[in-house]
Structure 1
Amino acid sequence: MEVRLPFEAPIYEMEARLTELELQSQRAGGSSTSGEETADSQALREQIRALRRELANLRRTIFANLTPWQKVQVARHPKRPQTRDYLSLIFDGFQELHGDRAVGEDPAIVTGFARLDSTKVMLVGQQKGKNLAERTACHFGCAHPEGYRKALLKMKLAEKFKLPIVSLIDTPGAYPGITAEQRGQALAIAENLMAMASLRTPIVCVVIGEGGSGGALGIGVGDKVAMLEHAYYSVISPEGCASILWKGAEHAPRAAEALKMTAPDLKRLGIIDDIVAEPAGGAHRDPTEAASLLKAYLVKSLRELSALPLDELVERRYQRFRRIGVFKVESDQVRDAPTPATGLETSPTATPAPASSPTV
């Protein structure tokens, strides 16, 4: 069943009108016996051209002014391209690699060798599944510890063979079940964070849909971290945040606004480096065009990173993540700040510092 987001209603209405006019034009053309275009047919064709221009403008206008909650809805759209879609649209010669050599295979994370134009890469990506059977097998994109261990093994293999790594992030979060906790979910993610920070090979990470908390971070430490235009990247889902702060998931739109989880906000805060444009109307409306835009970004980024010496590459990656969360406190604020009963000095008016100029 086709999923129609509420704010897309004007687009679907105009598309229906366009389809009706195109059918009228076909019938008028088929009924013409002379083969010459009548004045009515010419007027109809001009009306169709005008409506197509209007539809294109409407798509651009609506998707350029989405609220954070609407962007979350787009990021979760069932028809949005996933890792395996991009594999077939962007990469060649994919050879999948399975297993973590300990527990087994986790289909929520896809790994393997592939070719991006003339460059051999190691692809690591999260997969949600397209239908109920696939989604159940992939746990809706929520990886177990064996998935993160598999990803790390393959990334170390890439380092060994001097291959760059492309990481495609699309998960609501790591699997929250008791079996995952028993097998060391937190440890697996932590080990990935530590190891990825020092891998001596270029790493490009792109959030292609949902970027949920530690589940996304487990394959998200890179030299370049980017997001598709209508993806989101957050420490918690809007529903989870709303349930904690306002005791109800119905406040999710309010939470999405407060979390600053969209690409423009995160780029301004220095959490991501780049925003990859999507086709007008979102990636779910034109996966082929979305793949073309993503491919261009990946090729450009890998070309830039491959020119850097490995020592500089690793140091820049380490410092990039060290800068996140750094803040500065004005000296007069520290001097005038009241001392609480605990004896710990605090400054409630501390302000965030730009990521590009950290101050300790």
Structure 2
Amino acid sequence: MEYLDFELPIKELEEQYNKACAIGEESDVDVTDTCKQIEKKLNETKKDIYKNLSAWQRVQLSRHPSRPYTLDYIHAICGDSFLELHGDRTVKDDKAMIGGLGKIGDQSYMFIGQQKGYNTKTRQYRNFGMANPEGYRKALRLMKSAEKFDIPVVCFVDTPGAYPGLEAEERGQGEAIARNILEMTRLKVPVIVIIIGEGASGGALGIGVGDKVLMLENAWYSVISPENCSSILWRSWDHKERAAEALKLTAKDSVKLKVVDQIVKEPLGGAHSDREKMFLTVRDQITASFEELKNLSKEDLIEKRMEKYANMGDFKG
């Protein structure tokens, strides 16, 4: 297991605990009391660390290499019922944006989300979760198919941003994202959005408009990453911690600013520390959100969604 810098005290205690237990197993020495004391201290240390995380530390947790990605959630939630669909019918199949049909119980959903890789090879294959215009057009095609067959849409947001390359701009990156935002505001089916990791810039907004927007406790949602903000304002990444605080990018900040509807609590230590529990929590949240929305008429659904986004950004002069 990999540890972040602020998790090193936890690593030391876990190593002490494992060594003590190993001594007990390999010899006749009774180390029960010692193990209990270390375990107690370990639990207290975890609680102290994770209840006082800074904005930057939450950003680090959202990028943890063991954190579950979109396909992990979909396969855990849907099992063998998930059928991935490919291509935007114009350019190609963008591997950074995945989507397809799946079931939770007897209810079908159209699942869409950015997918990152687990190692160098798969990260390149998935383009580090940064979709090209064809990725957003594929997402829109799947949303329109869901609308046609009256299937609710679930979007998993986890991206450092849309791909900023020259070829992406040539193929209309800005237009593709803007088109998705426009079309998602008036989809005639329930749209549930879950920010599971990084929610950066227009890359997140391209699949981020929903009736219900949920955000995992250690995810972040902002117009720009702390590093890029720091490099613009201070010409260096050295001020990324300060930038993270100023950007108000945490789940608590997002709910307070009313850009997110609800925080989804993670297991102690982050989503990667108890993946099965996290999968069950997300599944239950999707089901609960759909139950809230399923009885609304199509007209009411669109009206409430558009009103929700029109009311964002209120300010007093």
Q: TM-score, normalised by structure 2?
A: 0.97
Aligned partner of 1:259 in structure 2 is 247
Q: Structure 1: which 4+ aligned runs deviate by more than 4 Å?
A: none
For structure 2, the 5+ residue unaligned runs are: none
Aligned partner of 1:9 in structure 2 is 8
Q: Relative to total residues, which structure has the larger helix share, 1 or 2? A: 2
Aligned partner of 1:159 in structure 2 is 147
Query: How many residues are treated as equivalent by the alignment?
Result: 316
Determine the C-alpha separation between the residues in 2 that align with 1:131 and 1:269: 35
* Alpha-carbon shift at residue 286 of structure 1 (Å): 1.8
Q: How does 1:67-106 map to 2 (within 5 A)?
A: 67-92=54-79, 93-106=81-94
- Aligned with 2:82: secondary structure? strand
Aligned partner of 2:181 in structure 1 is 193
RMSD: 1.2
1:126-175 alpha-carbon deviations (Å, 9 max, x no partner): 10111111110111000000000000000111111111111000000000
* Alpha-carbon shift at residue 4 of structure 1 (Å): 2.1
* Alpha-carbon shift at residue 271 of structure 1 (Å): 0.9
- Aligned with 2:66: secondary structure? coil
Corresponding residue to 2:120 among 132, 135, 147: 132
- Aligned with 1:226: secondary structure? strand
Q: Say which is worse superposed, 289-298 or 157-166, in terms of deviation.
A: 289-298
Determine the C-alpha separation between the residues in 2 that align with 1:206 and 1:53: 34
Determine the C-alpha separation between the residues in 2 that align with 1:17 and 1:190: 53
Identity of aligned residues (%): 47
1:283-315 alpha-carbon deviations (Å, 9 max, x no partner): 122221211221121111111111222211111
Aligned partner of 1:281 in structure 2 is 269
Is 1:61 aligned to 2:48, yes or no? yes
Q: TM-score, normalised by structure 1?
A: 0.85
* Alpha-carbon shift at residue 265 of structure 1 (Å): 0.7
**Larger Cα-atom Rg:** 1
Amino acid at match of 1:268: K
Determine the C-alpha separation between the residues in 1 that align with 2:296 and 2:41: 46
Q: Say which is worse superposed, 217-226 or 280-289, in terms of deviation.
A: 280-289
1:305-326 alpha-carbon deviations (Å, 9 max, x no partner): 1122221111111111111112
Contact 1:56 1:280 in 2 (8 A): no
Aligned partner of 2:24 in structure 1 is 25
* Alpha-carbon shift at residue 54 of structure 1 (Å): 2.9
1:183-220 alpha-carbon deviations (Å, 9 max, x no partner): 00000000000000000101110110000100000000
Corresponding residue to 1:232 among 208, 220, 224: 220
1:19-53 alpha-carbon deviations (Å, 9 max, x no partner): 0111122124xx5xxxxxxxx62xx2233234323
Determine the C-alpha separation between the residues in 1 that align with 2:33 and 2:288: 40
* Alpha-carbon shift at residue 88 of structure 1 (Å): 1.9
Determine the C-alpha separation between the residues in 1 that align with 2:33 and 2:103: 45
For structure 1, the 5+ residue unaligned runs are: 32-39, 330-360
